[in-house]
């Protein structure tokens, strides 16, 4: 089936849905699903439409642009698997889960490569026939290390970069270069426990619930737009290690859920928030 | 603010969204929120639109009918509180929760009266200044009892009848008379534990999670369209009474959630399922 | 049934469970349920035992003290309803829920009085035949207002003070006076969104889950030992008001859950954390 | 560390905890954690103790037996990884998740082999260096197929058999032979949707929550003692395939959770229920 995903966002005006669906209707395209939202604070309109049928994408886009307010963003793509590169450090659970979903065809993405600053995950990755790049960070400046990472990413031209427990802080340049393209899993219920060792922080605070957060990466550490969150209950019998363990399942499920939404192009970013059509 | 809710369901055709939103656009009405769904199995189209602006409801409906496929159902109402009657038996938690939400203005409905086959809940109800009708079921046939209940309901002309732990089985006549107007809270995670004593059944089965289900009432006991469900975890230390206790909070929250959806006209019934725009 | 609750905490030593249960065994007391925990970081032992049978409480306590390490804390009480006073401000849902649970006999406590800095909740409270004290905070110093509150509390000699959305900050003196006796419901998932307007903070941060936290009150705002937490999912369609609304049900359920644990004496406080035997 | 797990269940008598902990105390063994439960309906006592220290297991058992009521069951083991064999059919997610947890050292068990009636999962299994036995069920009687499966299991002498989406019904003989040793993941919230195609059943019933259940296998299909359950929310937009997809994550997490409890010997079976010390 020839499916397309149309994303539009623009200033809110009267009649937008009528006009946009009119373009699809006149081109004999069939709407499969449709979602609209107006953000009150900004008077901004968001719409995601999945449609099927034969269409000249460029022509559709031109017809739409003629009807929409100035400054409208229009994104029109075939519904396809995304190309991604994964960055990881030492932990198996998130990377392994993505490799498994990729292997079974469930991921909705092509994993082009895995990049890590350690060798630990090479065997796991290569078992699944995915290229593994070991880029050590020792005896090298942070800048040079990141340059090598960037060069390696560059050769794959991915649409998204996934941080599957990549435990290195990224420079503002890196983050800006891959803006709205980089998804991270943070092992806490943001904005609680920003930064290092969130499980230790959670243990010390004596919380009864821990969580994980999938978010786009921005220049501010752990402050990017949140895509998905989930939680697990804990109690006083669990030490830090028990929380880490309980957290692993939450992390991998939330990361996978975030990626499903992103890869199906269900996520708009507005200021520092997400608008999600699911 | 002059808000309306427009509900449409009909055979799926191309261009429906375009045509419907066109009517609103030409009448200078402003869409506040919009949801559409096509049920694949039946090729049936459902749409719920909330709009604001000055409109002649009858004219809008006529314009719409001219554009829609034959047999289309159109329901167009001012956004208003619903009028309801509550039936209950002996338990406080669901009725009490509804009375409280009504009192604080959160319920989105006017409670016109409470009807019960016991006297237990009179004081609670009358404390909130709501009329209480005690209709005992003893020494009277099931048919006569129900007739009296129906007559009492009739004098209030409610739009919805809420069974807030009403522990009497209703006749097919009653159910048909108030079809898609009667909402029940069942104290299990349907379709598990249909019928009497679901917590005892759950205890005997040794489940680790219990639940509650808000649903429209149909002729088949506990088989009506499900509106909302929720759960609570339990363990071996909880006897039947512990499950009943844990279940109370789930029941009252699920009932309130179901009613919020129904009173805001977010629920379509298709065959024996619900389509919910929330 | 003549039930008692025995709480012991002391330095961890070998044989503690054996020795403690020996005292109960020799006195022909029957253990109904039992929980023990050793906190590794502090090498501290905690035990909660519920037992039935005829016992001279003072004698039991003396026998226990002779066997336990120096500095052991022993608390031995009949299993009884607790006496409480509730402080509230303007919101109905938490107070109303507690009044309802009290009315139906589910609360495990006697509500002796409600104190508020507004008149809004008087009618609701008095409908349930509970004394209501209006202590306005306007045109009076913070200190004088709190003094009047304290004097009013004092006349009831409550075992616990419940802050059911009491929106005034309490002085260190107040908090110290009622240490481990004051339970608050905070309308966020602590430690996220400490302080004022947590729902506005949550909205601005674009979180996908909101929460509530029941905790003991200490001198540091919203930093006391956490008893229970729970969450609700939210999305981009909910404004601040939608989050406030969704949060109400979480708040009242978490407060009730926290109180159930506290009133059944299931909660130890160790440093700034809770150890809970449920 | 030299850790042991002691499991005792017997008729309830007074002083059992005192007597049992006395044996450990006199042998200079140090209790790490302890749980007790009395099932009221059967007046039966259950206790799980984890202790450390040098001990002659046989001597401890004899001392205990001398003190305990007749018919007491005593199980005393070193805390060790369990040996398991996994049966699967065609689906990747549960098997893959267990292979990953095994690979990263998180599983608390040694996977000795995977047996399947299809070839689909061979590559995945062998990538992780685990023996794979393909035992086709075509052109062979059910009895002969099961005999071959049993023979293959037999050569590994596993302590537990895990059905990770094994889609064949097992004979009563098989089930009896491996009683309380066989754990299954059922893809519904039991007892809802017993038998084949639970997601289709769930879709047809229009439920708003789906679930999965980890349970011991008994002669009655999907009727064995429940170990763990969990759920995921669904809505009208998800067809059967969407539910299957959403269900996969729940299934693998619940299976892993059930196995963690079983492998750490935290689960007693009493009649058809589980008593779990976690």
Lowest pLDDT segment from A132-141, A206-215, B217-226, D98-107: B217-226
pLDDT interval class at A51 (50, 70, 90): very high
pLDDT recorded at residue B31: 94
* pLDDT tens for each residue of A77-128: 999 999 999 999 999 999 999 999 999 999 999 999 999 999 999 999 999 9
Q: If you average pLDDT over every residue of chain C, what do you get?
A: 95
- Same domain as A93, residue A56: no
Q: If you average pLDDT over every residue of chain B, what do you get?
A: 95
Lowest pLDDT segment from A188-192, C247-251, D21-25, D65-69: A188-192
Question: What is the distance in angstroms between the Cα of B273 and the nearest Cα belonging to chain A?
Answer: 19
Q: If you average pLDDT over every residue of chain D, what do you get?
A: 95
Pairing of strands A182-186, A160-163: parallel
Question: What is the distance in angstroms between the Cα of D17 and the nearest Cα belonging to chain C?
Answer: 7
pLDDT recorded at residue B195: 81
Catalytic site includes residue C144: no
Last residue of a domain, one of A59, A78, A97: A78
Say whether pLDDT at C168 is over 70.
Answer: yes
pLDDT recorded at residue C187: 92
pLDDT interval class at A219 (50, 70, 90): confident
Say whether pLDDT at B118 is over 70.
Answer: yes
**Averaged pLDDT, A186-195:** 88
Give CA–CA dist C31/B274, Å, rounded. Answer: 50
pLDDT recorded at residue C220: 81
**Averaged pLDDT, C242-260:** 97
Q: Which of A12, A144, A222, A278 is catalytic?
A: A222
**Contact (Cβ atoms closer than 8 angstroms) between residue C4 and residue C79:** yes
Give CA–CA dist C251/B159, Å, rounded. Answer: 31
**Averaged pLDDT, B213-218:** 96
Q: Look up residue A106 and give its DSSP letter.
A: -
- Same domain as C223, residue C122: yes
Q: C129 is in which domain, residue-wise?
A: 82-276
State the CATH number of the domain containing residue A181: 3.40.50.170
Last residue of a domain, one of A25, A58, A78: A78
Residue of D nearest to B192 (CA): D192
pLDDT recorded at residue C194: 86
pLDDT recorded at residue C2: 84
- Same domain as A87, residue A54: no
Question: What is the distance in angstroms between the Cα of A171 and the nearest Cα belonging to chain D?
Answer: 30
pLDDT recorded at residue C215: 97
- Same domain as A159, residue A39: no
Question: What is the distance in angstroms between the Cα of B167 and the nearest Cα belonging to chain C?
Answer: 18
Which C-chain residues 30-49 have CB contacts (< 8 A) with chain A? Answer: 37, 39-40
Q: Using DSSP, state whether A10 is helix, strand or coil.
A: strand
Say whether pLDDT at B219 is over 70.
Answer: yes
Q: If you average pLDDT over every residue of chain A, what do you get?
A: 95
- Same domain as D62, residue D121: no
What is the edge-to-edge ordering of all strands in the sheet holding B226-233? Answer: B132-134, B109-116, B82-88, B160-163, B182-186, B209-216, B226-233
Q: How distant, in Å, are the alpha carbons of A15, A66, A77, B111 from that of A69? A: 11, 8, 21, 47
B97 chain-C contacts, CB cut-off 8 A: 97, 100
Give CA–CA dist A148/A117, Å, rounded. Answer: 11
**Averaged pLDDT, B107-112:** 97
Query: Is the Cβ pair A249, D253 closer than 8 Å?
Result: yes
Q: What is the CA radius of gyration of chain C?
A: 21
C33 chain-B contacts, CB cut-off 8 A: 237
Contacts of C47 by beta carbon, 8 Å cutoff, 6+ apart:
C6, C7, C8, C9, C16, C17, C20, C34, C35, C36, C37
pLDDT recorded at residue D1: 63
Look up residue D94 and give its two tokens: 């549960």
pLDDT above 90: percentage of residues in chain C: 94
Query: Is the Cβ pair C14, D22 closer than 8 Å?
Result: no
pLDDT interval class at C242 (50, 70, 90): very high
Residue of A nearest to B14 (CA): A30
User: Is the pTM for the entire model greater than 0.90?
Assistant: yes
Q: How distant, in Å, are the alpha carbons of A204, A211, B121, C193, C202 from that of C198? A: 22, 18, 37, 5, 6
- Same domain as B115, residue B91: yes
State the CATH number of the domain containing residue C52: 3.30.70.260
Nearest to D17 among C17, C28, C38 (CB): C17
Residue of C nearest to B94 (CA): C100
Residue of B nearest to D215 (CA): B207
pLDDT above 70: percentage of residues in chain C: 100
Query: Is the Cβ pair B236, D208 closer than 8 Å?
Result: no
C157 touches chain A (CB under 8 A): no
Length of chain A: 278
Q: Look up residue C15 and give its DSSP letter.
A: T
**Averaged pLDDT, D57-79:** 96
pLDDT above 90: percentage of residues in chain A: 94
- Same domain as A251, residue A160: yes
Q: C–D: how many Cβ contacts below 8 A? A: 38
A14 touches chain B (CB under 8 A): yes
Q: How distant, in Å, are the alpha carbons of A164, A169, D160, D278 from that of A200? A: 20, 19, 35, 21
- Same domain as D113, residue D93: yes
pLDDT recorded at residue C1: 63
Say whether pLDDT at A196 is over 90.
Answer: no
Give CA–CA dist C84/C87, Å, rounded. Answer: 10
Q: Using DSSP, state whether B71 is helix, strand or coil.
A: coil
pLDDT recorded at residue A75: 97
**Averaged pLDDT, C141-155:** 96
- Same domain as A141, residue A58: no
Domains held by chain A: number: 2
Say whether pLDDT at A201 is over 70.
Answer: yes
Q: How distant, in Å, are the alpha carbons of B121, C96, D171 from that of B96? A: 9, 9, 51
* pLDDT tens for each residue of A147-173: 999 999 999 999 999 999 999 999 999
pLDDT recorded at residue B49: 97
State phi, psi for C258 to the nearest 5 degrees.
-60, -45
Say whether pLDDT at A145 is over 70.
Answer: yes
Supply the ipTM of this predicted assembly. 0.95
Query: Is the Cβ pair B248, C106 closer than 8 Å?
Result: yes
B22 chain-A contacts, CB cut-off 8 A: 18, 22
Q: Using DSSP, state whether C38 is helix, strand or coil.
A: strand
Say whether pLDDT at A10 is over 70.
Answer: yes
Residue of D nearest to A101 (CA): D93
Determine the residue among C24, C32, C33, C34 to mutate to test chain D binding: the one whose Cβ has the most chain D Cβ atoms within 10 Å: C34
- Same domain as A221, residue A101: yes
Say whether pLDDT at B137 is over 80.
Answer: yes
**Averaged pLDDT, B201-221:** 93
Neighbours of chain C (3+ CB pairs under 8 A): A, B, D
Query: Is the Cβ pair B209, D225 closer than 8 Å?
Result: no
- Same domain as B188, residue B59: no
Say whether pLDDT at A1 is over 80.
Answer: no
Query: Is the Cβ pair D191, B190 closer than 8 Å?
Result: no
Residues paired with residue D82 on neighbouring β-strands, in sequence order:
D109
pLDDT recorded at residue D226: 97
- Same domain as B95, residue B72: no
Last residue of a domain, one of D45, D78, D111: D78
pLDDT recorded at residue A222: 82
Say whether pLDDT at B1 is over 80.
Answer: no
């Amino acid at each position: 089936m020839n499916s397309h995903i149309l994303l539009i966002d623009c200033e809110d005006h009267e009649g937008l849905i009528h006009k946009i669906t009119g373009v699809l209707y006149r081109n004999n395209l069939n709407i499969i699903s449709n979602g609209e939202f107006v953000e009150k604070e900004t008077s901004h309109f968001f719409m995601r439409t999945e449609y099927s049928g034969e269409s000249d994408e460029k022509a559709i886009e031109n017809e739409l642009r003629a009807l929409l307010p100035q400054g409208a963003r229009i994104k029109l793509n075939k519904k396809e698997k995304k190309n991604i590169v994964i960055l990881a450090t030492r932990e198996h659970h998130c990377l392994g889960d993505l490799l498994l979903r990729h292997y079974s065809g469930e991921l909705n993405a092509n994993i082009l490569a895995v990049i890590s600053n350690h060798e630990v995950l090479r065997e796991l990755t290569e078992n699944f026939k995915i290229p593994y790049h070991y880029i050590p960070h020792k005896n090298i400046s942070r800048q040079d290390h990141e340059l090598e990472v960037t060069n390696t990413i560059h050769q794959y031209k991915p649409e998204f970069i996934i941080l599957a427990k990549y435990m290195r802080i990224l420079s503002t340049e890196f983050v800006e270069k891959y803006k709205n393209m980089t998804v991270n899993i943070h092992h806490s219920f943001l904005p609680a426990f920003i930064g290092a060792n969130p499980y230790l922080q959670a243990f010390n605070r004596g919380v009864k619930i821990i969580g994980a957060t999938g978010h786009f990466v921005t220049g501010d550490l752990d402050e990017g737009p949140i895509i998905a969150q989930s939680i697990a209950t804990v109690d006083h019998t669990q030490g830090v290690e028990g929380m880490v363990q309980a957290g692993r399942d939450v992390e991998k499920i939330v990361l996978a859920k975030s990626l499903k939404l992103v890869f199906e192009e269900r996520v708009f970013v507005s200021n520092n928030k997400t608008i999600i059509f699911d």
